[in-house]
Amino acid sequence: MKLCGIGDEAGQALDSQISAVKALGWRYLELRNVLVPGHPRANLHDLSPAAFDQVVERLKQSEIQVIGLGSTIMNWSKRLSDPWEITWSEVERSIPRMHRLGTRLIRIMSFKPDEDTVDLPVDVIRRVAEVTRRFQSEGLQVVHENCMNHGGMSPRHAVQLLDAIPDLAWVFDTANPVFNADRSRPKPWPQQDPWEFWMAVRDRVLHIHVKDARWNPARNDADYTWPGEGDGAVARILADAAHRGYSGGVSIEPHLVAVFHGPESAASDDALRLNFIEYGQRLERLMQSVGALPVG
């Protein structure tokens, strides 16, 4: 398994992100939002050409490899009714940047569903398939994340999407089922079961996001925890992945100091970096305890 982390969880600045993974002794970063001197923070596919040049040079100097891109393509902030040009322009901007970075994995989603949606719209399948084909034509691999999107509405919806698009693969997030409703069941929808979701998609998983959480009914939201201390079945899933010979990325996404898209996302880079490092160290110990990582 390749240990890595989503960069902006270690700080807004690229230098903070690089520093954190190097402190852990890791060689990989999953790039999402990046800040470089003289330019505003943006997702990698939205950076200006000059800012992206800085990213490439800094990564080369640090000898850190990019394991994949966490794009905003069809993510939870977008609707199926949005202009298709938004999605397609993100796709076309991502492709040359992936080639330049030497990475072939890109995370996408499948649009935010309406409040009462329970069926996977045909147009969602069509658009995810079109995006997948475009990346495949360039030798690049799309992985869909189970999150607040149509494909993440339940394990059944995920399997339906994967069955419809043979070239699509999955990035499994251990904590997302904790705070997502299972829309395959009658109302009132229960929360999803992380282990059930993992079992449904594990044959198509090429990348794993590790975060952990418990559902807090009083807040109607998740409380994030250290890995293995929540209800995300992190230890069980990683042990099963190791037993099955999984060799892809295991990417930390702590969400403990800040959720990058949340109102509390203005935490300092120092706080984010220190939390990221401790989270990574705790994950290593957890993986060693279940035989998913060698000791020493």
Using one digit for the tens of pLDDT, what is the confidence trace for 158-181? 999 999 999 999 999 999 999 999
Tell me the fold of 2-289: TIM Barrel (3.20.20)
What kind and span of H or E run contains 84? helix 84-101
Measured CA to CA in angstroms, residue 158 lies from 198, 250, 279 at distances of: 10, 20, 28
Query: Contact at 8 Å (CB) between 102 and 145?
Result: no
| Tokens 């010979």 sit on residue | 245
Q: Which of 124, 116, 201, 114 is nearest to 155 (CA)?
A: 201
- Mapped onto helix, strand or coil, the DSSP state of residue 138 is coil
Do β-strands 141-145 and 105-108 pair in parallel, antiparallel, or remain unpaired? parallel
Cis peptide before 188 (omega within 30 of 0): yes
Tens digit of each residue's pLDDT (9 = 90 or more) over 86-137: 999 999 999 999 999 999 999 999 999 999 999 999 999 999 999 999 999 9
Q: What pLDDT, on a 0 to 100 scale, did the predictor assign at position 266?
A: 66
SS3 content of the chain, % helix, strand, coil (to 5): 40, 20, 40
Tell me: pLDDT of 182 over 60.
Answer: yes
- Mapped onto helix, strand or coil, the DSSP state of residue 287 is helix
In this prediction the pTM is 0.97
Asked whether the CA dihedral 33, 134, 205, 65 is positive or negative, the reply is negative
Token pair in block for residue 272: 């984010």
Token pair in block for residue 129: 């398939």
Token pair in block for residue 76: 């939870």
What residue ranges do the domains of the chain occupy?
A: 2-289
